[in-house]
């Protein structure tokens, strides 16, 4: 019965929504975009090997009368500093907290710039960052991300300058330590790498099925603004960003269903990869499909093959 459901799901590949017809492009300029009063998204450039188009790596910036909270850093020290400089143009308040909502390098490689702030992460993210730090140190790499100072397991609440900021862990997803940041009074939810807006899904760590459950739990938050960890924010309406979350959920679900069908047939990973462009239909037209599909399909295949 399970495979029959997956077979049907693999056939019903969603079409691209109207809001997802554009591409990230090469003319992108980094900067802050106001979401609501005192809450901004910083869209920084992420250059992927072999790709001309630019991915946006997004950070959330929360300005209060007693300091600033930043959620997710940037891919390198230079871009991290540009973000800090942009923040200094809108407030004289110091950065009090950095939340590592994702433990991946493009979100933590600028951690050192926030050494005077308190860095917070989920305990799974801390373990992942510590492993990267140890591995890079052993290899002689000069990229040694600063470790978080405090961790949490399920939920943590920060209160600063009259704002309430909730940190939620809803389960395995893009990584084993993704944090969803929710501002209940402002109705803003930052999903970090649980949500890529108008980009092919990244589920390379093999948690595609869990990602669906985790993202569904996050989507139950009473938010009006859904902010992605990568992809479009600028010029997007509330409705556009909400549609983007739904589309990303459908994207992850389609990957899982299509790969599960091949595993049930006994197909090899190579056969599965070869068939995936046809299997995924319109989703194969999303930006960075070629860059992300091997890791997404391979991670999902291996996870299913172990069951």
Provide the H-helix boundaries in 47-151.
77-88, 105-108, 123-139
Query: What CATH number does domain 2-16+24-305 carry, 3.40.50.2000, 3.30.70.1520, 3.40.50.970, 3.60.15.10?
Result: 3.60.15.10
Exposure string (b/e) for 249-271, b if CB count within 10 Å is 16 or more? bbbbbbbbbbbbbbbeeebebee
Which H/E stretch holds residue 197? strand 196-197
Tell me which DSSP letter residue 307 carries: -
CA distance 80 to 146: 13
Nearest to 284 by CA among 299, 302, 297: 297
pLDDT in tens, the chain (307 residues): 333 334 434 334 444 443 333 456 666 788 999 999 999 999 998 877 877 777 889 999 999 999 999 999 999 999 999 999 999 999 999 999 999 999 998 999 999 999 899 999 999 999 999 999 899 889 988 888 899 999 999 999 999 999 999 999 999 999 999 999 999 999 999 999 999 999 999 999 999 999 999 999 999 999 999 999 999 899 899 999 999 999 999 999 999 999 999 999 999 999 999 999 999 999 999 989 999 999 999 999 999 998 7
Please tell me the predicted confidence (pLDDT) of residue 23. Answer: 58
Q: How far is CA 264 from CA 4, 24, 283, 293, in A?
A: 10, 36, 22, 20
Boundaries of every domain in the chain:
2-16+24-305
What per-residue confidence (pLDDT) applies to 14? 45
pLDDT recorded at residue 26: 64
pLDDT at residue 25, rounded to an integer: 64
User: What's the distance, Cα to Cα, between the start and end of the chain in Å?
Assistant: 16
Residue 55's contacts (CB-CB under 8 Å, 6 or more residues apart) are 24, 45, 46, 47, 48, 199, 230, 231, 287, 288
How far apart CA 251 and CA 212 sit, in angstroms, is 10
Length of the chain: 307
- pTM of this prediction? 0.91
- DSSP assignment letter at 176: S
């Amino acid at each position: 019965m399970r495979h029959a459901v997956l077979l049907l799901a693999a056939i019903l590949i969603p079409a691209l929504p109207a809001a997802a017809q554009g591409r990230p492009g090469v003319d992108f300029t980094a900067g802050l975009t106001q979401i609501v009063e005192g809450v901004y998204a910083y869209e920084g450039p992420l250059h992927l090997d072999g790709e001309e188009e630019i991915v946006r790596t997004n950070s959330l910036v929360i300005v209060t009368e007693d300091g600033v909270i930043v959620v997710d850093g940037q891919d390198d020290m230079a871009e991290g500093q540009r973000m800090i400089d942009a923040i200094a143009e809108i407030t004289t308040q110091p950065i009090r907290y950095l939340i590592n909502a994702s433990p991946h390098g493009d979100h933590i490689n600028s951690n050192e710039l926030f050494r005077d702030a308190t860095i917070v992460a989920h305990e799974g993210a801390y373990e992942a960052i510590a492993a990267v730090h140890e591995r890079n140190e052993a290899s002689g790499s000069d990229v040694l991300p600063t470790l978080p100072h405090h961790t949490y397991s399920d939920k943590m609440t920060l209160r600063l300058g009259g704002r309430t900021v909730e940190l939620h862990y809803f389960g395995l997803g893009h990584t084993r330590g993704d944090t969803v940041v929710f501002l209940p009074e402002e109705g803003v939810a930052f999903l970090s790498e649980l949500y890529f807006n108008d980009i092919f899904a990244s589920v390379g760590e093999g948690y595609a099925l869990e990602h669906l459950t985790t993202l569904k739990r996050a989507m139950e938050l009473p938010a009006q603004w859904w902010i992605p960890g990568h992809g479009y924010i600028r010029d997007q309406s509330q409705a556009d960003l909400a549609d983007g979350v739904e589309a990303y959920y459908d994207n992850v679900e389609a990957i899982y269903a299509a790969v599960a069908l091949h595993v049930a047939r006994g197909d090899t990973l190579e056969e599965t990869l070869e068939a995936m462009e046809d299997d995924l239909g319109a989703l194969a037209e999303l930006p960075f499909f070629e860059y992300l599909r091997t890791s997404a399909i391979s991670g999902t295949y291996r996870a299913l093959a172990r069951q």
